[in-house]
Structure 1
Amino acid sequence: MKIYKNRTFDRWARKEGLKNLSLCNAVNEMAPGLYDADLGGGLFKKRIAKPGKGKSGGFRTLIATNNEDVGFLFLAFQKTNAVTLTHMKKKL
């Protein structure tokens, strides 16, 4: 599977210390159905563990896929920032 990330996501991942290998592993785990939510239209929610910690306190990511051969990482947030994200969606 080819995996792409936009510039904003890449900057965020580097700042948080996420390595490309852990991002690739997270996207490849989705093939057998290991994801947190199917949001429809090829959009999935997937948790990624923080370096040295577990997934429960890690990051939430939104991944778009195209026919299971391409994955796009474009949005991620920490669990504590989920409330802020919900308020942002309401304003839109």
Structure 2
Amino acid sequence: MIEQEKQIADKNKAIRGYIIRSLVKGHHNRLLCRQLVNLMMRDAIIISPDISGYLDYLHEKKYIEYTDEKITSYTAYMNDAMIKLTSKGVDLVEGTTNDPGVDI
């Protein structure tokens, strides 16, 4: 893997980890998508509100879920979806499980 690809992969892992850690701090491990985006933009983690790719990864791995079944990772921001950390996501935070694609 060339250096630029490794930097992109490391950034993606860090952003996914930031999302998981932010959800832990939310009420009952939940945050509205726009709250999450605002936190990330405030902390200069992202410059665009499009976090769909990061959410898609976490949702496919079953670390997060949406409280409305009609929501997808790509409509979460538009619908200001509630994002909830699942029990698998909690296990990831607590170190019970490990994912090389998420930098906790």
TM-score, normalised with respect to structure 2 = 0.27
TM-score, normalised with respect to structure 1 = 0.30
User: Which is bigger in relative contact order (C-alpha 8 A, separation at least 6)?
Assistant: 2
| Greater percentage in strand | 1
